[in-house]
Amino acid sequence: MEQAEAQYAQAKLAQLKGQYHVDVLVDWGDSNQEWKPGLWTRVELDRLHDSIALVANTMGETTNFIRNLGGVTVKKSDIGTHGGEALAHQVCFSTKGSFSAWTVVHEFGHAWDANYSWRLSRLLEKYTGGYTSPILSYLKQLAGLSDSGFLTPEKTPGRYGRRPGCNKAGYFYGDKPSGSNWSFNRVEDFAESVAMYLGWEKNNELSEHARNRIVRYQLKNGDKDAFNVIDNWMDYAQLFCPDNGDYAKTKRWQFVDDLVNGRINVD
Ligand SMILES: [Zn+2]
C-alpha cells in the first residue's frame, strides 16, 4: 500500500467491517517516521471487497452473510505453497503473490463451513450421494483400479487421482463435481461448489474460471486446459461433465442453491 492510498484503504477497511464484519489485519503504515508499504495492495482490497459482496449478495441480506460467517479476520501469512487457508472466523492469503476472486470465495466457503463445525460439507457429501472411506480407497488402489500412484499422486496425464475414492482422503464423491484430484475431499468439494455456483452462467469475476472448469471435458486426450494441465480429458468426461455441459443440472449446484435460499436445515 502506498502512503497516498492509505486514506482509501482506511475507508475500505471500515466498509468491510461495517457491512460484513470482516477485519483485515493491517500490515502497512507509519513506522519510525517511515512509510511501511506492507504486502497488501489497493487492488487486492478492492478484489476482497468485491468478492465478499458477491458471496453476500448470493446469501440475500448482509445479515445472512454475517450470521453464516460470524465475523472473519483476514490476513496475509506464509502458508507454503497454498494460495489460501481458512478456519472458522479466519482467512489467510499467501504472502507469495496475489490472490484471485476465486480464491477469496473458495476460502470464505471454508470459513462458512468451519463456522458450522464443517457440517455443511458433510451435508453436501450426503446430498450428492458420496461417502468417505479410506479402507475402500486403499482396496481400490490395491486392486489396481485407481488412476493415481499407490498411496501417492502422480503428476502425469491419467494419473492425477481423479476417480471417486482415488485421493488422499478416500473421498468417493457422488454425482458430478467440476473436477477432482489427489487433494480432493468433501471440504474442498464444498468450497469449490460454492465458487462454481456463484460463477456459473453469470457475468462476474468467477464466471470464466467456472466455465473453464467444465469445457475442458470437451477437450481431447493430451490437450492442455485453461489451467495449463494436460490430461486425458475424454476419459474423464463421463465422471465430471454435467448433462448438456450445464453445471446448473448437477446436485452440487442444487445443493448450494438450496443452502443459500434457506431450504437446508444446517443446525
Ligand atoms: Zn480449499
Q: How far is the CA of 191 from the centre of ligand 1 (A)?
A: 6
Q: In whole angstroms, give the CA distance from residue 184 to residue 162.
A: 8
Q: How far is the CA of 45 from the centre of ligand 1 (A)?
A: 21
pLDDT tens string 229-260 = 999 999 999 999 999 999 999 999 999 999 99
Residue 267 pLDDT greater than 90, yes or no = no
Q: In whole angstroms, give the CA distance from residue 187 to residue 85.
A: 12
Q: Quote the cell numbers at residue 101.
A: 476472486
Q: How far is the CA of 189 from the centre of ligand 1 (A)?
A: 8
Residue with cell 467456472: 210
Q: How far is the CA of 76 from the centre of ligand 1 (A)?
A: 16
- Band the pLDDT of 80: cuts 50, 70, 90: confident
Q: How far is the CA of 33 from the centre of ligand 1 (A)?
A: 40
Q: How many residues does the chain have?
A: 267
Q: How far is the CA of 112 from the centre of ligand 1 (A)?
A: 12
Q: How far is the CA of 188 from the centre of ligand 1 (A)?
A: 5
| pLDDT > 70: percent of the chain | 100
Q: Give which of 2, 54, 5, 1 is closest to 25, Cα–Cα.
A: 1
Q: Please, are residues 38 and 26 in contact by the beta-carbon 8 Å criterion?
A: yes
Residue 83 pLDDT greater than 90, yes or no = no
Q: How far is the CA of 85 from the centre of ligand 1 (A)?
A: 7
Question: What is the distance in angstroms between the CA of the first residue and the CA of the last residue of the chain?
Answer: 41
The structure's pTM equals 0.97
Q: Quote the cell numbers at residue 95.
A: 504472502
The Cα-based distances of 224 to 58, 178, 219 in angstroms read 32, 16, 8
Q: How far is the CA of 90 from the centre of ligand 1 (A)?
A: 13
Amino acid identity, residue 148? S
Highest mean pLDDT: which range of 46-55, 81-90, 142-151 = 46-55
Q: How far is the CA of 82 from the centre of ligand 1 (A)?
A: 9
- Least confident span in 51-55, 94-98, 207-211: 94-98
Residue 197 parent element (H or E) = helix 186-199
Average pLDDT for residues 38-57, to the nearest whole number? Answer: 97
| Chain center to CA of 189 | 8
Average pLDDT for residues 147-162, to the nearest whole number? Answer: 93
Residue 153 pLDDT greater than 90, yes or no = no
| pLDDT > 90: percent of the chain | 94
- Band the pLDDT of 42: cuts 50, 70, 90: very high
Average pLDDT for residues 202-229, to the nearest whole number? Answer: 97
What pLDDT does 96 receive?
Answer: 92
Q: How far is the CA of 223 from the centre of ligand 1 (A)?
A: 26
Q: How far is the CA of 1 from the centre of ligand 1 (A)?
A: 27
What pLDDT does 63 receive?
Answer: 96
What pLDDT does 240 receive?
Answer: 98
What pLDDT does 58 receive?
Answer: 97
Between 129 and 153, residue with greater pLDDT: 129
Average pLDDT, the chain: 96
